[in-house]
Amino acid sequence: MKALSQKRRHPLAAIALLLMGLLLTGGLYAVATTVNQAKAETTTFSASDTEEGKKLFEANCATCHGMGASGTKDGPSLVGVGAAAVDFQVGTGRMPMQMNGPQAQKKPLQFNEDQTHQLSAYVASLGAGPAIPEEHLLDEKGNAAEGGELFRVNCAMCHNAAAAGGALTRGKFAPALADVSGKHIYEAMATGPQNMPVFNDANISPEGKRDIVTFLKKIEANGSPGGADLGSLGPVAEGLFVWVAGLGVIIAFTIWLTSRTS
């Protein structure tokens, strides 16, 4: 015990412990990076796609995001955001941005499907990130009931329980989710665009995301069987409308009666 105690007090003991800690940290990081890289490679791209995507990026995106997508004061770095983020932002017309504002607005597409695929390939080559979802996750054959529960717990506070959208702070908003493709809904959950948090696979599993897409497409297909949905703002808005409209009818009827008697 005395010999061991003396070794612990050796001048090189602290350095040895530091080196061991660095080796352990590096090993854990290498394992985590390998796992993330495996996830990122679920979407495969050809070398031609990556090369063409680089040309498109340098011509259309580098002004804001910098050469090599390293970022500038006008746009963040895209290293490690993954193919799904590019496919969502470019595929919905939000990028390139039309003008500065609280958040990027959806607008007509600037790039066709092939060009969007190529841009996604280039950004994916810069670092591991969420991949474009596979087709079986977008078949809308998940569990709609489970998806509805997940949506109400994680999404309804911003997007409304009926996915009709809602206002946020400082001019921002959560958009309505009707007429949005299942792929873009899935990608939004995986990448967290604009003010949306990222729901990675540890938060909501791929099957859970599939269930949410199924739920949203189901309520979209069902429409509003009860008649006019009044913006799907909920019972308070509907009650207020009935109250105001009902009082208006009563007042109008009362004025009509009094005018008749006079």
Instruction: Give residue-wise pLDDT tens across range 212-229.
Output: 999 999 999 887 666 666
Nearest by Cα to 203 from 150, 162, 152, 161: 150
Q: How far, in Å, are 28, 202, 224 from residue 32 at the CA level?
A: 6, 14, 46
Domain span holding position 184: 133-224
Instruction: Name the β-bridge partners of 173.
Output: 167
For residue 110, being part of any structural domain is answered with yes
For residue 60, being part of any structural domain is answered with yes
pTM flag (> 0.85): no
What is the band of 8 on the pLDDT scale with cuts at 50, 70, 90? Answer: low
Q: Which residues contribute to the annotated binding site for heme c? A: 61, 64-65, 155, 158-159
For residue 252, being part of any structural domain is answered with no
Q: How far, in Å, are 132, 173, 218, 248 from residue 257 at the CA level?
A: 66, 46, 48, 14
For residue 229, being part of any structural domain is answered with no
What is the band of 6 on the pLDDT scale with cuts at 50, 70, 90? Answer: low
Q: Which residues contribute to the annotated binding site? A: 61, 64-65, 155, 158-159
What is the band of 37 on the pLDDT scale with cuts at 50, 70, 90? Answer: very low
For residue 248, being part of any structural domain is answered with no
What is the band of 39 on the pLDDT scale with cuts at 50, 70, 90? Answer: very low
State the helix-helix crossing angle for 206-222 and 182-191, rounded to 10 degrees. 140
Q: How far apart are CA 210 and CA 216, in angstroms?
A: 10
Number of domains in the chain: 2
**Domain end marker among 84, 103, 131:** 131
For residue 255, being part of any structural domain is answered with no
CATH code of the domain covering residue 120: 1.10.760
Q: How far apart are CA 182 and CA 201, in angstroms?
A: 17
